[in-house]
Amino acid sequence: MKILLAVLLTATLAATSFGQSALSGTSLNIGTGNTTQAKSATIGNNNNLADPAANYNLLSGDSNWISTASGTNFITGFANGISGSSYASMMFGAYNTANGILASAAFGWGNIMANANNSLAYGGGNYVAGYCQTGIGLGLIVGTVGTTSDNPTTVVGSYNTDKADQRFVVGIGTDNTHRDNALEVSKTGKVTMLKDVTMTRRQGDLRMGRFGNPGDE
């Protein structure tokens, strides 16, 4: 991947242009139906860098887009897009969208990132907003929808219940209308297990006194 990026960026700086039209600035355009801008590259079909100030970007695949002045972003796949000023971010997959992100990444399909800085969305249908937020799974909400959060949170699993002041959450919901959590760790260190805990056999040197095995006392 590093070698591929180096080759593409070198070609961009070399002011090489192929495809539908040539620009006067340094650019790379390979494919059909692409719109590129100076100091940027589009490879594939129907990729669109709409704003003349969208520089130092690389779009590859089909129907990816950046609609505003943004820079140093890399998008590959199908129908991924960025709106709002966004920088130093990546998207891999299909139908991922972002609005105003910085040094963030989306991998998978249908993820939404909003005002996310140093954040990650990995999987499908996740919503990630705020600073140092991570969502890995399906249908997760990390950061309240419509707002942003400065409380770094990691959520894994599926269809969690979004709560304030959490640092780690395991979601076990089945769909958007049936959200649920199995485990929550708050910013104060409080651990909440919301489901039954089953210990099938004694492990290690754990001592539980009169509540444990007879040999523990």
Q: Could you give the count of Cα atoms lying within 13 Å of 5 in the half-sphere of its Cβ?
A: 11
Query: pLDDT tier at 143 (50, 70, 90 boundaries)?
Result: confident
pLDDT at residue 110 is higher than 50: yes
pLDDT mean over 115-135: 95
pLDDT of residue 195: 84
Is 125 or 26 the better-scoring residue by pLDDT? 125
Query: Which band of pLDDT confidence, cut at 50, 70 and 90, is reported for residue 21?
Result: very low
Tell me the average pLDDT across 20-49. Answer: 84
Mean of per-residue pLDDT scores for the chain: 84
pTM (2 d.p.): 0.81
pLDDT band at residue 214, thresholds of 50, 70 and 90? low
Q: Where is average pLDDT lowest: 82-96, 108-122, 167-181, 200-214?
A: 200-214
Closest listed residue to residue 47, CA positions, set 15, 24, 74: 74
pLDDT in tens, 177-199: 999 999 999 989 999 998 887 76
Q: In what order do the strands lie in the sheet with 112-117?
A: 48-49, 65-66, 81-83, 97-99, 112-117, 127-131, 141-142
Domain ranges of the chain: 1-88, 104-194
Average pLDDT of the segment spanning 72-92: 96
